[in-house]
Structures are given as C-alpha cells and as structure tokens.
Amino acid sequence: MIAKLISNMHFLTAMVLFLIGFHTMLTHSNLIKKVMGMNIMETGIFLFFISVGYVRGGSSPIAVPGAEGYINPLPSALILTGIVVSVSLTAFALALIVKLYNYYGTVDADKIMQLRGGEE
Amino acid sequence: MQSVVLQTVIKLLLPFIQVYGLYIIFHGHISPGGGFAGGAVMAASFVLFAMSYGVGEGFKRLPRLIAQWLESLGGLIYIALGLTGILRGAAFLTNVPEWLGQAGQLFSAGLIPLLTTAIGLKVCSTIVTLLYHLLEEGHYDSQTD
Amino acid sequence: MNHLPVLLVALYLAAALGLPLLGRNKKFPAGLFAVGVAGCGLILAAASAWHVAGTGTYSYFPGGHQAPLGIEITIDWVTVFLHLTINLLAVLVLIYSTADLSRELGGGRAKTWYYSLFFLLLAALNGIVMAFDLFNIFVFTEIGTIAACALVAIRPKRLCVEAAFKYLVLSALGSGMVLLGIGLLYMVTGYLNIGAMAQALPKAFAMYPWNVLVALSLFVIGLGTKAALFPLHVWLPDAHSSAPTPSSAALSGLVIKVYAVAMARIIFQAYGAELFSRIPVPDVILVFSTAGIFAGSVLAIGQTDIKRMLAYSSVAQIGYIFLGFALVTMNGIVGGILHIFCHAVMKSLLFLAAGAIIFKTGIRKIEDLAGMGYRMPLTMAAFSIGALSMVGIPGFSGFISKYYLAFGALAADRPVYVAVILLSSLLNAVYFFPIVVRAFFGHKEKQMTWDRLPWAMTVPMVVLAALTVILGILPGGLVRIAELAAGAWLN
C-alpha cells in the first residue's frame, strides 16, 4: 500500500495541490490570495496531466539514435497551452485587482462588500 | 528601485537572454521549446530592463506602440500562414510538403518555424505590453464613477 | 472539403487582432467595420449551412492530419444551427452597439477595444460549437471566458469590475475542473478526440470506473458553472446586469448556451447513450434545472432593476435548455436546441429594449416604467413581444420550444416536468406582465410623446421582434434543423 502510494506520489501531490488551491480560492477573502489559489490549483492540474504522459526511464520525445522509450509529448504540449491560459487568466485577474484597489483602496473582498453596503 | 549593481548586471545579461530567447524560438521545430517558451524568455529581457531602469527607459527601448503592432501582427501572420494551406487547396494550416526538408536540420519542417516565429513575436510583445500596463498603472488617475 | 466554418473563426480572430491597429486612426469607423465583419460572418455561416444542407455533414481536419492523431472539427447540424444563431445575433447586437456604446463607454478608444473583444468572443463561441476534441473545447472555452469577462469589465464602473472579478474567479474554478476532467479521461482512454473516446470509454469504464465517473462530474460542474446551471449561477446576475447592454444581450443570449452545448456534446457524444444509461447524470441535471427554473423565476420577481430581473430570468431559461437535454428523448432535445435559438432571440430583444429605455430616459427601476408605452411605443411594443414569447403564449417562438419540451417530457414518461413547464410559465407571467401592463395602462394622462431612437437601435429590435413572431407562426424550417441536430446526438 505504502509502496504503491510512493510510486504514485506525483498523482497524490497533484490532488493535494489541487485541493489546496481550490480551498484557498474559495475561502480567502483577500483577492490576491484568491489569484494565488487559482495558480496553485492549476499547477496541481498541470502536474497531474504531465504525470499521465510520463514514462519511467523514457527520454525526451526527440528522435535521437539510441533512445529506448519516449515520454508521451502530447500532455506536455497540451499543458503548454494550459499554462498560456493560466497566465492570461492571472494577468487579467491582476489587472482587475489593480482597478478594484483604485476604486476601494483595499484588496479584501469582505471590506469591499462593507464599503459597498450603503451604495446600492 | 534604481541600483547600480542591478543595472550593471542586467546590462551584461541582456544580450545573452535575448540570444537564448531567439535560439529557443528558431529551434522550436527540432528541440524542446518554441514560440511560447522563447517569446517568454525574450519578454523577460525587456521586463528586467524596464524594472531595473524604470518604465520610462523601457518605453524608449521597446515603445508601446511597436509592442502593440507586433502583438497584432504576430497573430495575423499566424492566420495568414494558416490560410496559405487553403490557398494551396488543402486544409487550414496544412504544411508545405516540399519544404519539409530533413528532420533535425534548422531549415526544415516547412511552415512550422515560421509559425513559431509568429508565436514568439506575439508572446513576447504580449507579455511586455501586459507588464507595461501593470507597472504603469500607478501613474494613471483612477477613473471613478 | 469545405473551408467555410474555419474561415469563420479565422475571420473573427483576424478582425479582433486587426482592430487595435486600424483603430489607431482616429477617423476609423470601427462600428461600421465591426458590422461589416459580422455581416461577412453571417454570410459565411449561411453558406456553410447551405453547403451542409446540400451535401450532408462532414469532418474537417486542420493541418491535414486525420483523427485521432490530428485535430478534428465537426460540421454537424448542431454546429450549423449554433453558427447561424451566433452570427445572426452578432450582427444585430453589433448594429445596436454602434449607437449605444458612446453612452456606455464614453468616447476614446474603448470602443475599438470593445469590438476587438467582441470578435474574440465570437471566434471562441464559433470554435466551441465545432470543436470535436476535448482540448479544443477547453481552449476555446478559455478564450471565450476571458473575452466575456473583459466585456463586462470594460465599463469604467466599479460594479462592473467587481462583477467581472467574480465571474472570472468562478469561471477559472470551472475551467480548472474541466481540465482535470480531460486529464482523467485522457489517462484511461489515451484519446482526446470525442469520436475515438466514445469507442474507448466503455472498456475504460469497466476497468477504471472512478476515473470516468469523476471526470463526468467534473465536466458537469465545470461547464455548469460557466453555463450558470442553477446552484452555480451566482455570478450571472451581477455580470449580466452591470455589463454594457450589447454585452448583456450577447452574454445572456449566446455565451451561457454555448457552454451548455459543449457539455451536452461531451455527455452525448463522448460518453454515449450506453454509458449514461448506467449513470444517473440526466436525473441529477433534471433536478438542478428544475430547481433553476423555479429559483430563477422567483428571484426575478423580487428584482427592482430591469436588467437584473432579465439576468435572473436567464438563470431560469438556461434551466429549460438543460431540462430538454436531460430528458434524453427526441422531442426534449429538439425543444432544448430550439430554446437556444428562441431564448437567444427573445432575451436579446428584451435586453436591447431595456437598454434603449435606459439610453433614452436613464430609467432602470421597474416601478418607474409606468406610461413608458406612451413615451417609447416601438420599444415597449418590442419588449412586450419578447415578454409574451418568454411566457410562452402561442403564436410566439417561446411557445414552440416549450411545446417540444412538454412533448419530450411526456415521451420520457415524466409528466411531472410538463407541470414544471406550465407552472414556470405562470411564474414568468408574474414578473413580465406587470411591466407591460404598467407601461401601457399604468399612466393617467394618455398623451403620446414619442421619444425617437437612433435607427441603429430600432432596426435590431424590430428584426428580433419580427423573428420572434414569424418563428412562432412558421417554425417549420427551424424545427427541421433542430430535429436533425438532435438526431446526431441521440443515435
């Protein structure tokens, strides 16, 4: 059981990262922390995806003489796209936070709700 | 944050970073890397410069106008290269079989090096534009309702 | 092989990238250009539909690599139906926005950015409905999400920025789940192509049932968040009500439905009927959509702001679409697909009419609309047509889709959902009729003061109102396409 867990460590780590990110994103009221949670969650998913394509002892997927097995390149290629998506989401979220900070002077969601209270 | 040490180191490092970025972009079809990775490395050089010398100096080296042009052009070149496939009667983004060359050579793989170059341009200019906007935001007057 | 659908996406992407360059020239008529590009898009979509009608559905392989190695694009009747819907709505909304945007965004270059983002959104929407592998669906979904959030945040108001942030965070959660789901399925099947996956999944399900089940639930929750399926709808009212009017119309009319279609495509075409006869997913979705239909309507009744009310009504209406899909009968799916079009038309009509009232008078409160029928007769007439259609009065397009939904419920042997449809129609009437009645009969002095609107605002409203009525009376062609589309999903 333990040996099995250790040999599948990357999947376990990926899930733990995903849950940490998910939890951070939903429970923290600081907007920057929410964005950090988003990134941690996505890192977890990327790790998971890359692990799916990993072949133990395989070499990188370039045709060179003498290579035994290759690592599946498809998940890596997909995750590159995933990283691009995550970068753009992060950039956009940060830009929105800068704007919110300019409007309210705080990056705390609870305080923003309080400030907004009388407005509507 | 203007520090002599930082500025000198960055000045020394810049050419190496940029050459490395270009290397990654142009070898995208024969080794790991490609447009996104290389473009990000290239962008890192501009960003490092803008952060150590101040945004104003950064604007002088890569003005926002040019960055925006490159950003749009990178995407448009990609689409145009894709359309050449249709013009030759094949599907969108089809490679040119005559240009495939020998695997492992720098001049091979048909359209793919051109595509990675377009992506590199786009990624580099996008990241630079993004950082310019974020760094500069402090100077803006916040528009209020 | 026919390139039209790919050209459609390429056209919109090129327009989105080119507009910031062209817009540098201060005199550049961005609005006219945008309408022209969307017009070309509609022509391409119509030509593609004509081609499919002539020669049948087909698959397209960009780069010339065959599936499952290459990327597959499917041009089936669902794609055709949604391409027509998206591009038709896009043209009308863009015509409207040429007049409306100056008020919403002020002068300057924001308008150019707006059109650029709008085209990015259109490219993504057109891409989602024709992608036939999971990863392309994901990528286009992300492009669509960012563009949609930006279209909400573009107004320099703090409410909009806040709404956009909420939308972004929840969408990011959703997309994270979708990506994890894709990873889980890829792990056990080794394919991303939906067709290849459908063949590999039954075997994979026998070996790794948990992977397949968890992936399914992640898809339902992830795409459900983006499509505002009931308990996950919390971002929608803020985002759709604070956005500029043309964005609201496009977001409510098109964006949420495209995600619903993506979910249905994954469930029907990747999982296939055999698998989910063993998993009670449709029943779960049925419960949530029913809850959404009632909750959306009840919450809409309590609203005082007209755009907010319309946004809550979207929560209810997306419930009908999911209800139709989850009934898994021919008529039910036809009803769901029809409702995509009918709701797109009538909800855009309502949003545009509400926007026209705000544009002319600045009134957003529902109580203040009394006598509006005498100030803006054309707009209120259009609003009334939309409202009647929304309630499902025979003779308007909303009736047709509900009729098919009800038959679908009977065919699925679940008559209780017929009662749901009838009751919810009553609820719709509760919040739409008072507005109409008050606008035309609520005022003491019945004096006509006709506040005229720019033609760019009236024309889209008249066209949409005409479509609502015409499709209510002559739904034949539309129903035929919807039946062909549903057939592809059910076999």
Cβ atoms of residues C145 and C225 within 8 Å: no
Give yes or no for residue C155 having a pLDDT over 80: yes
**CA separation for the pair A45, A72 (Å, rounded):** 17
Q: What does the pLDDT read at residue B142?
A: 37
**CA separation for the pair B119, A44 (Å, rounded):** 26
Q: What does the pLDDT read at residue B1?
A: 59
Q: Residue C478: pLDDT band by 50, 70, 90 thresholds? A: confident
> For A94-120, how does the pLDDT look when each residue is reduced to its tens digit (9 = 90+)?
888 988 888 888 888 888 888 776 554
Q: What is the mean pLDDT of chain C?
A: 87
Average pLDDT score over residue span A19-24: 91
B residues 70..129 contacting C (CB < 8 A):
71-73, 75-76, 79, 82-83, 85-86, 90-95
Is B31 within 8 Å of A63 when comparing Cβ atoms?
Answer: no
Average pLDDT score over residue span C457-474: 90
> For B87-104, how does the pLDDT look when each residue is reduced to its tens digit (9 = 90+)?
887 888 888 777 777 777
Q: What does the pLDDT read at residue B65?
A: 83
Average pLDDT score over residue span C355-368: 84
Q: Report the alpha-carbon angle B29-B34-B37, nearest 5.
A: 165
Give yes or no for residue B145 having a pLDDT over 50: no
> For B13-40, how does the pLDDT look when each residue is reduced to its tens digit (9 = 90+)?
999 999 999 999 988 888 777 888 899 9
Q: Residue B141: pLDDT band by 50, 70, 90 thresholds? A: very low
Q: Residue C154: pLDDT band by 50, 70, 90 thresholds? A: confident
Q: What does the pLDDT read at residue A117?
A: 66
SS3 annotation, chain C? CCCHHHHHHHHHHHHHHHHHHHCCCCCCCHHHHHHHHHHHHHHHHHHHHHHHHHHCCEEECHHHCCCCCCCCEEECHHHHHHHHHHHHHHHHHHHHHHHHHHHHHCCCCHHHHHHHHHHHHHHHHHHHHHECEHHHHHHHHHHHHHHHHHHHHCCCCHHHHHHHHHHHHHHHHHHHHHHHHHHHHHHHHCCCEHHHHHHHHHHHHHHCHHHHHHHHHHHHHHHHHHHCCHHHCCCHHHHHHHCCHHHHHHHHHHHHHHHHHHHHHHHHHHHHHHHHCCCCHHHHHHHHHHHHHHHHHHHHHCCCEHHHHHHHHHHHHHHHHHHHHHHCCHHHHHHHHHHHHHHHHHHHHHHHHHHHHHHHHCCCECHHHCCHHHHCHHHHHHHHHHHHHHHCCCCCHHHHHHHHHHHHHHHCCCCHHHHHHHHHHHHHHHHHHHHHHHHHHCCCCCCCCCCCCCHHHHHHHHHHHHHHHHHHHCCHHHHHHHHHHHHHHHC
> For C247-270, how does the pLDDT look when each residue is reduced to its tens digit (9 = 90+)?
889 998 889 999 999 999 998 888
Cβ atoms of residues C382 and C349 within 8 Å: yes
Give yes or no for residue A44 having a pLDDT over 90: yes
Is B75 within 8 Å of C3 when comparing Cβ atoms?
Answer: no
Give yes or no for residue A12 having a pLDDT over 80: yes
> For A76-96, how does the pLDDT look when each residue is reduced to its tens digit (9 = 90+)?
888 888 998 898 899 899 888
Give yes or no for residue C123 having a pLDDT over 90: yes
ipTM of the complex: 0.91
B60-74, C221-235, C281-295, C385-399: range with lowest mean pLDDT: B60-74
Cβ-based burial of A3 (10 A; exposed 0-12, middle 13-18, buried ≥19) = exposed
User: Searching chain C, which residue's CA lies closest to the CA of residue B111?
Assistant: C63
User: Side-chain half-sphere of C155: how many Cα atoms within 13 Å?
Assistant: 25
Cβ atoms of residues B89 and C64 within 8 Å: no
Is C169 within 8 Å of A25 when comparing Cβ atoms?
Answer: yes
User: Searching chain B, which residue's CA lies closest to the CA of residue C66?
Assistant: B91
Q: Is C152 on the interface with A (CB under 8 A)?
A: no
Give yes or no for residue C126 having a pLDDT over 90: yes
Give yes or no for residue A67 having a pLDDT over 70: no
Cβ-based burial of B135 (10 A; exposed 0-12, middle 13-18, buried ≥19) = middle
In chain A, % helix, strand, coil (3-state, to 5) comes to: 75, 5, 25
The percentage of residues in chain C with a pLDDT greater than 70, rounded to a whole number, is 97
Among A18, A34, A104, the residue with its CB nearest the CB of C169 is A34
What is the extent of the structural domain holding A69? 2-116
A39-48, B20-29, B47-56, C47-56: range with lowest mean pLDDT: B47-56
Q: What does the pLDDT read at residue C122?
A: 93
Which of B130, B135, B136 should be substituted to probe chain A, the one whose Cβ sees the most A Cβ atoms within 10 Å? B130
Q: How far is CA A119 from CA B35, B104, C245, in A?
A: 47, 64, 22
Cβ atoms of residues C96 and C460 within 8 Å: yes
Residues of A in Cβ contact (< 8 Å) with C149: 92
**CA separation for the pair A51, A14 (Å, rounded):** 9
Domain harbouring A81, CATH code: 1.10.287.3510
Q: Is B11 on the interface with A (CB under 8 A)?
A: no
User: Searching chain A, which residue's CA lies closest to the CA of residue B133?
Assistant: A95
Q: What does the pLDDT read at residue C39?
A: 93
Q: Is the pLDDT higher at C406 or at C278?
A: C406
Q: How would you label C351-378 residue by residue, b for 16+ Cβ within 10 Å and e otherwise? A: bbbbbbbbbbeebbebeebbbbbbbbbb
Q: Residue C444: pLDDT band by 50, 70, 90 thresholds? A: low
Q: What does the pLDDT read at residue C38?
A: 92
Q: Residue B140: pLDDT band by 50, 70, 90 thresholds? A: very low
